Amino acid sequence: MIMVYCEQRNGELLNVGPELVGKAVELSKDFDGNVTAVICGHKINHLAELLIHYGASRVIVIEHPLLEKYNVDAYTEALYQVVKSENPEILLVGATLTGRELGPKLAARLKTGLTADCTNLEIDSDSKLLLMTRPAFGGNLMATIICPDNRPQMATTRPGVFPMPQSDSQRRGEIILFTPRLSEEDIRIKVEKIIQKIRKHKDITAEKVLVAGGRGVGSKENFELLEELAELLGGGIAGSRAAVDEGWLPKDLQVGQTGKVVRPKLYIAVGISGAIQHLAGMQESEYIIAINKDPEAPIMKVADLAIVGDWKPIVRRLIQQLKQTMNIQEEKIS
């Protein structure tokens, strides 16, 4: 059996859960096993049907008042009880902020290994082992890791690595309510206050259009042009690690191996050379436009449209053309 831990926050399912369910369904064809999704929380039964629609054969709802807010001690204990009861061959976890904390603690409790930040998962046709591929040595090569002796085989992947599966409201499956043995004594960490961060920008993994800038953009002020372009296209702004390290953009807008994995319909890379670490985070975009002075930059080789030249006049011309097109359309409507 393949088990997927699906994260929820305030009663809403995070996309990484269904993404992993979709990948687990694909893996189960070679593995000859069912896909079981697991969610933790309090009064979250409504999410079970959604996971069935995304492809899960079974959904285990771990329900307890002490699980209403995320707490690593409580969640680790609750998931441990479910995993020991179900004995899955494979356990997949999203590499979110909480998943990166929860995954290693759970693996330690289960006395098994964990491969973090995987970019691909496959089943070996001969051994039936999970092949977990992730960047190694600073992203300069890809390593495929196996866990032959311990179970479950555990892996985490970041949101956006795998595509979101199609939801089918006609799908039916089994929903199981699991009440863990939990008490206040099991929880060493006490959460006194939760302060929600107000985001200025939308989550870049959810954007359909991204305009991303790199070191070649030159300054924080220059990103205002990229923001204008992104706004006209109905999308968002993003950047490479170099742009974030310079302080031009906040960390949550970073694309790449140490940032976020995105797969928008349109990705415009401005002044980004295209180091392998950055390519790992955006190369699954549907259509890539690269603007760079260097025709030999790695980003130009993966781009569907590569424009060689100074980015400023090119972006200004794009903005001008978009505004003219929008004005023409408004005149037609009026």
Backbone angles phi, psi at 270, to 5 degrees: -115, 120
Residue 40 confidence (pLDDT): 94
Residue 32 confidence (pLDDT): 66
Which residues neighbour 267 within 8 Å (Cβ) at sequence distance 6 or greater? Answer: 209, 210, 212, 282, 285, 287, 288, 289
Which residues neighbour 74 within 8 Å (Cβ) at sequence distance 6 or greater? Answer: 64, 66, 67, 182, 186, 187
Residue 141 confidence (pLDDT): 73
Residue 225 confidence (pLDDT): 93
Residue 231 confidence (pLDDT): 92
Tokens 């933790």 -> residue: 40
Q: What is the pTM of this model?
A: 0.76
Q: How many helices (H) and strands (E) does the chain have?
A: 9, 17
Helix H or strand E segment including 327: helix 311-333
Spans of the chain, pLDDT less than 70: 32, 137-140, 197-200, 328-334
> Could you read off the pLDDT of 186-200 as tens digits, one per residue?
888 777 777 776 666
Among residues 81, 52, 78, 56, which one has the least CA distance to residue 67?
78
Tokens 């492809």 -> residue: 55
Cα–Cα distance between 106 and 104 in angstroms, integer?
Answer: 5
Cα–Cα distance between 240 and 226 in angstroms, integer?
Answer: 13
Beta-bridge partners for 291: 270, 307
Cα–Cα distance between 171 and 253 in angstroms, integer?
Answer: 36
Domains annotated for the chain, with CATH where assigned, are 2-186 (3.40.50.620), 204-333 (3.40.50.1220)
Cα–Cα distance between 20 and 107 in angstroms, integer?
Answer: 18
